[in-house]
Amino acid sequence: MRSLRDPICAIATPPGKAAIGVVRLSGEGALEVAARVFRGKDPRRLPGGRFTLGEVVDPKTGEAIDQALLLVFRAPRSYTGEDAAEFQTHGSPAVLRRVLEALVQAGARVAGPGEFTLRAYLNGRMDLAQAEAVLALVEAEGDLARRQALRGVSGALSERIRRLADRLLDLLAHVQALLDYPEEGVEPHRAEGVIREVLEEVQALLASSRAGRLAQKGARLALIGAPNAGKSSLLNALLGYERALVSPVPGTTRDYLEAPLELFGIPLVAVDTAGVRDTEDPVERAGVERALRIAEEADLVLYVADRSKPRPEPPPLPWERTLKVATKADLPPLWEDPEYLAVSSRTGEGLWALKEAIRKRLLGEASEAVWLLSERQVEALERAKAHLEEALGAPEDLMGLSLEEAVGALNALLGLEVGEEVVERVFRNFCVGK
Ligand SMILES: Nc1nc2c(c(=O)[nH]1)N(C=O)[C@@H](CNc1ccc(C(=O)N[C@@H](CCC(=O)O)C(=O)O)cc1)CN2
Ligand SMILES: Nc1nc2c(ncn2[C@@H]2O[C@H](COP(=O)(O)OP(=O)(O)OP(=O)(O)O)[C@@H](O)[C@H]2O)c(=O)[nH]1
Ligand SMILES: [Mg+2]
């Protein structure tokens, strides 16, 4: 791993022009480095938590690069836990690049991805689960992902994991006592009760991981049905604006069409497709084949059928991830089926219920308390689960071993006693400057 205390610097704001840009600096000697590039009050004499207005200058030539606000942080009261500084300049790429160069000339090194947060972790400012939550927060696209990630950053998930580990450690102490002093200690069936409770919570957390992934990565929602069923109209109704062409002519949508749609904070891509029917027209055929493939690949399919026409024969669809929708509910129905949600794109009737149904199908009943935020966290909990299951059936002398392994897995989730490779892998995914 790289040196862990030397001064590092990075542009923290996104590439491109903006009103303000931020360059961060952190590490031992950061304020000395800052002093070499700053004309104004001496950063070395500023107390932490203060800012001052001055100029960033080229340390070799003294040329002014830009006006800047300088923020000073003093260890351990900073994001990283080290001495740190931030330069807030005008947000032009030309300025930010020069400020970064100046800092490098003054003795700092350009930070690797996630290196600021890595230091925050190594300095005990946050655990590994919180660091992953920082990553998830930076990457959050929908409001749900943002909310979940923020809970992780503030330590709600870590707190839950720590409580579970504590319970197992208590139990472990009892089991040990039982072995050492067999006449006292715990009844075996009490141990089983505790393990079962912990196991249940672990399983609930694991069940939340699917929802967490969905909130982060979003989902694809495919609208499939016969020509003229009202797919494009439904897409427009869900979006709230006229994205797709609608007409009374069957076969209006020839190729598929994608539109981003945020539903209850979940980032979705809704895909409108060509109406599915047997046809000789090669172009239309290609569209139909595409539609069916899109259904196969979608996270959720809306099978759309017109209730004001004779009931159509449905195409082959992945029914376990399909919601059935009966459209044109404002017209007199020719058929009814309680499995179908009746909606009208024209009046908006049933639209809210459909959105609710989509949310439920995607997120399941996952409680919104805390969610797992990475594959690594899922793996750690899977391991904890396996060892807890092992402990359930085991005689007392072996139960202790399995409990220890389970505690180890929970601790690993928090980044306690994990190897360098694990830590490196977590931070590799970060962006530079975080
Ligand atoms: N300009 C700026 N904005 C930012 C960050 C940053 O690093 N810089 N953050 C980066 O992710 C987030 C805020 N996270 C932070 C967490 C702790 C400290 C910090 O200095 N904590 C000290 C001092 C607290 C105080 O003075 O009240 C401490 O906790 O001791 C700073 C930012 C979001 N906004
Ligand atoms: N009354 C009523 N008419 C609707 C409703 N939804 C769609 N329509 C009409 O049904 C016809 C077909 O709608 P589209 O949305 O283009 O149907 P589609 O499934 O996309 O059709 P293709 O692209 O040809 O596969 C249009 O004339 C719409 O105005 C509805 O809720 N109520
Ligand atoms: Mg259409």
Q: Which ligand is nearest to the CA of 345?
A: 2
Residue 114: per-residue pLDDT: 92
Contact 114, 139 (CB under 8 A): no
Contact 232, 249 (CB under 8 A): no
Residue 111: per-residue pLDDT: 95
Ion ligand 3 neighbours (CB, 5 A) are 232, 252-253
Contact 116, 10 (CB under 8 A): yes
CA dist., res. 11 & res. 21, Å (int): 8
Looking from the CA of residue 78, the nearest atom of ligand 1 is 20
Note the pLDDT tens digit of each residue in 36-94: 999 999 999 999 999 999 999 999 999 999 999 999 999 999 999 999 999 999 999 99
**Ligand 1 in reach of 79 Cβ (< 6 A):** yes
Residue type, 267: P
Residue 215: per-residue pLDDT: 87
Query: Nearest CA to 229 among 284, 136, 336, 302?
Result: 302
Note the pLDDT tens digit of each residue in 250-309: 999 999 999 999 998 899 999 999 999 988 889 988 989 999 999 999 999 999 999 999
Residue 306: per-residue pLDDT: 98
Residue 186: per-residue pLDDT: 62
CA dist., res. 429 & res. 44, Å (int): 34
Residue 367: per-residue pLDDT: 61
Beta strands in 244-378 (DSSP E): 257-263, 266-272, 300-306, 322-327, 341-342
Look up the pTM and report it. Answer: 0.82
Residue 3: per-residue pLDDT: 62
Residue 76: per-residue pLDDT: 96
Looking from the CA of residue 274, the nearest atom of ligand 2 is 25
Residue type, 300: L
Residue 190: per-residue pLDDT: 81
Q: Which ligand is nearest to the CA of 228?
A: 2
Residue among 51, 79, 126 whose CB has most ligand 1 atoms within 8 A, to mutate: 79
What the chain holds in terms of domains, given with CATH numbers, is 8-126 (3.30.1360.120), 131-208+372-415 (1.20.120.430), 220-363 (3.40.50.300)
Query: Nearest CA to 260 among 211, 221, 206?
Result: 221
Residue 2: per-residue pLDDT: 57
Residue 184: per-residue pLDDT: 67
CA dist., res. 345 & res. 231, Å (int): 9
Residue 9: in which H helix or E strand, if any?
strand 8-11
Q: pLDDT averaged over consecutive 10-residue blocks of the chain (434 residues)? A: 83 95 98 98 96 97 98 97 98 97 97 93 95 93 91 94 96 85 70 93 89 88 97 97 95 94 94 93 90 96 98 95 98 97 98 96 75 92 97 88 96 91 86 83
Residue 213: per-residue pLDDT: 84
Contact 433, 11 (CB under 8 A): yes
